[in-house]
Structure 1
Amino acid sequence: MSPEEFTTALRAVPAERYHDRHPFNQRMHDGGLTPAELRRWIVNRFHYQRHIPVKDALILAKFDDSESRRSWLRRIRDHDGDAPGEGGIERWLRLGEAAGVERARLLAGAEVLPGVRLAVDGYVNFCRLRPALEAVAASLTELAAPTLMRTRIAAFERHYPWIEADGLTYFRDRVGQGSRDSQEALALVLRRAVTRREQEAAVAALRFKCEVLWSLLDAVDAAGEGR
């Protein structure tokens, strides 16, 4: 594929398969979740959030050039922070507190659903075992993340005013971070995928990541059936 065709193929995956289309996310954004459902999502999604720097460290270790390592290192710092009380993981903990979920409850992880654990483990192991190109390509769900974050901020402000406004800082920060990170990762994938086989592997990796996010929401959604 030409660079233009390859870019189009990559962008088509989240456009068709991103978890903004999942019924649970759609109910969330339409204001249809109860406080218990929203808290269950916050608890289980945190299991994914706390593993983001883990998978990024695995990707970082695969790079053989300083430029790529320097660029990717920033992602770990974005989530872990440079000091206690900073970073995306901290901001998710504050989201939980704003929604009435104690920090200790999030950190304990005792309520994480088996299906969520399986999905997150699958993604982390993918980044551990697959080549750098495929691991980076999987992160390109970030191409669709800024739009989702804007939708989510508006939905929370409109439908869930009982959540303190400061708790939405994670979503606000991810608008800019997602745009920056997705463009950097896209450029890296375009540079590294030079054969048709590599291009197809990158597209398949991105498709896999979309399935991970979808499976996570399947588990969260199914946990509320009949309640």
Structure 2
Amino acid sequence: MNNIQDQPQSREDFEARLRAIGAERYHDRHPFHTRLHGGDCTPDEVRAWVINRWMYQSRIPMKDAAFMSRVEDPDLRRAWRKRIVDHDGEVSEGGGIRRWLALAQGVGLDPDYVASGVGIMPATRFAVDAYVRFVRDMPLLDAVASSLTELFAPKIHAQRIEGLLAHYDFADDSSLSYFRKRLDEAPDDVAFGLDYVLTHANTREKQDAAAAALTFKTDVLWAQLDALWNGYVMGNIPLGAWKPGEGMLA
């Protein structure tokens, strides 16, 4: 007789389990975000965040391309390729990556410097590279499940827009365009990814693996903010990382 713990959770209970991971572990709970959204970050702390977050933003279409390279189902590829277009944009109209560079310019950084990746903290690079490898190498279900931090992103984007507008002079329609656009783009991605995971995680083993994948992704996001806090709030900037005054617009 099978142990009840080996039985798959219902679709509703499994979704609740995934959402509970975000409620407990998503990086909106990190003290750096409290500091940022509350207007307590110095200009250089904001710049350090923009520079290091670039590493993550720039790798999103790369991890999605790595995912698609393993997908044999044309329907899944068609659904997923929207994510690449959202971030890369088209030739004449930039996507999320160019909108992030508009934020960099807004906070006084040279966009070319930011795009070069010079000054990224080692811990940031390790965390983001680990995420790309995870999506490239793990089962497709786990890879999709790791993207479900998007379930919790609209809340943090709305808080960020409100907080930055209230507390920072650089905040305007151009510099915050990335976050506003994601409020429109993310819901379709969230709906598709969640349905895929709830449908395909049809055993307890697969559900446990999907939950672990989502937990891993929250760790990736949290680790990046831990590095920022230690480096730029506590003043322990590692060798090779951006130093205030570097990469500024002339």
Pick the TM interval, shorter chain: over 0.9
Q: 2:122 aligns with which of 97, 110, 114?
A: 114
For residues 196 and 206 of structure 1, the distance between their equivalents in structure 2, rounded to whole angstroms, comes to: 15
> C-alpha deviations, 1:75-121, integer Å up to 9, x for none?
00000012154100010011100111111110121110000000001
Give the SS at the match of 1:123.
helix
If you compute each CA radius of gyration, which structure gives the higher value, 1 or 2? 2
TM-score (structure 2 length as normaliser):
0.88
| Higher alpha-carbon deviation: 10-19 or 160-169 | 160-169
Whichever residue aligns with residue 123 of structure 1, its letter is: Y
Matched, 1:195 2:198: no
Taking the TM superposition and a 5 Å limit, the aligned residue runs for 1:64-79 are: 64-79=72-87
For residues 153 and 92 of structure 2, the distance between their equivalents in structure 1, rounded to whole angstroms, comes to: 26
Q: 2:49 aligns with which of 21, 41, 58?
A: 41
- Matched with 1:101 is 109
Matched, 1:16 2:20: no
Give the SS at the match of 2:174.
helix
Query: What's the CA shift for 1:58?
Result: 1.4
TM-score (structure 1 length as normaliser):
0.97
Tell me if the contact between 2:96 and 2:178 (Cα under 8 Å) persists in the aligned partners: yes
Kindly report structure 1 stretches of 4+ aligned residues shifted beyond 4 Å.
none
Query: What's the CA shift for 1:156?
Result: 0.7
Matched, 1:63 2:71: yes
Query: What's the CA shift for 1:62?
Result: 2.5
Query: What's the CA shift for 1:162?
Result: 3.0
For residues 53 and 115 of structure 1, the distance between their equivalents in structure 2, rounded to whole angstroms, comes to: 21
For residues 180 and 230 of structure 2, the distance between their equivalents in structure 1, rounded to whole angstroms, comes to: 28
Structure 1 residue runs of 5 or longer lacking an equivalent are none
- Matched with 1:92 is 100
Whichever residue aligns with residue 210 of structure 1, its letter is: T
Structure 2 residue runs of 5 or longer lacking an equivalent are 1-8, 237-250
Identity %: 46
Higher helix fraction: Structure 1 or Structure 2? 1
Matched, 1:4 2:19: no
Whichever residue aligns with residue 90 of structure 2, its letter is: D
For residues 115 and 149 of structure 1, the distance between their equivalents in structure 2, rounded to whole angstroms, comes to: 24
